[in-house]
Amino acid sequence: MTSNPSAKFPLIVCTHTISDYLRHRSRKVMKPEETIDFPIRKVWSRIARIYNTEAAKYGGSMAIGQILLSIEPDGTPSTKLGPKMGMESRSLVRTLQTMEEEGLVKRVPCKEDKRVVRIHLTAKGKQMRDVSRNTVIRFNEAVQSRFTPTQLTNFRQVMSELDRILEQEQLF
């Protein structure tokens, strides 16, 4: 704020407002629905809520179902599970511990390399995996039936390209 000493009334200039105005004129303002990330986050939150509600009926969660579906028949090294699912190791370790306590998985040291621990499904874990698989299939059939094959192809192409961009390009 500045004032003019020769004037009867002080001249007040708010430089902060002018610079904000100029900045906003040169930069596009986007509504959340115009962004790439907002609709993805919104839809993913709804999908997660649906999966978690269904999994809760069996004493599980979406994360547990995702892990069950990611374990190979001959076991999967614990270090490969996180990257395979895009899950942070801290969350994965905690969830695996819970799954082991509930009798869904067991940790088996690799015979060739004792440093490697493979995660195997127990009989109960295999049953829960079947429930998870059926839930994913039912969800996808219900949703995909509402779109044309062309819409689904376009959706997959856009998501694939978005994934490539985010993986390979420096955006900032």
Q: How many domains does the chain have?
A: 1
Write the CATH number for 64.
1.10.10.10
| Residue 148 placed within a domain | no
Q: Which distant-in-sequence residues (6+ apart) come within 8 Å of 61 by Cβ? A: 52, 55, 95
Token digits of residue 99: 């799954």
Q: Is residue 59 part of a domain?
A: yes
105-109 and 117-121: which strand pairing?
antiparallel
Q: What is the pLDDT of residues 60-69, one digit of tens each?
A: 999 999 999 9
Structural contact between residues 120 and 50, judged by C-beta atoms closer than 8 angstroms: no
Encoding tokens for residue 1? 């704020």
Question: Is 105 exposed, middle or buried, given 0-12, 13-18 or 19+ CB atoms closer than 10 A?
Answer: buried
CB-CB neighbours of 84 under 10 Å: 15
**Residue for token pair 């621990």:** 117
Asked, for residue 129, whether it belongs to a domain, the answer is no
Per-residue pLDDT reduced to its tens digit, 37-66: 999 999 999 999 999 999 999 999 999 999
Kindly give the residue spans of alpha helices, DSSP state H, lying in the chain. Answer: 15-26, 37-56, 62-70, 78-85, 89-101, 123-144, 149-168
Task: Tell whether 14 is covered by a domain.
Answer: no
For residue 54, is it within any domain? yes
Instruction: Report d(CA 6, CA 3) in Å as an integer.
Output: 9
pLDDT tens digit sequence for 137-168: 999 999 999 999 999 999 999 999 999 999 89
Domain of residue 67 covers 32-123
pLDDT tens per residue across span 97-121: 999 999 999 999 988 888 889 999 9
Enter the pTM of the model.
0.75
Q: State how far the Cα of 113 lies from the Cα of 41, in Å rounded to an integer.
A: 40
Residue 98 placed within a domain: yes
Report yes or no on 8 lying in a domain: no
Q: Is the residue at 15 inside a domain?
A: no
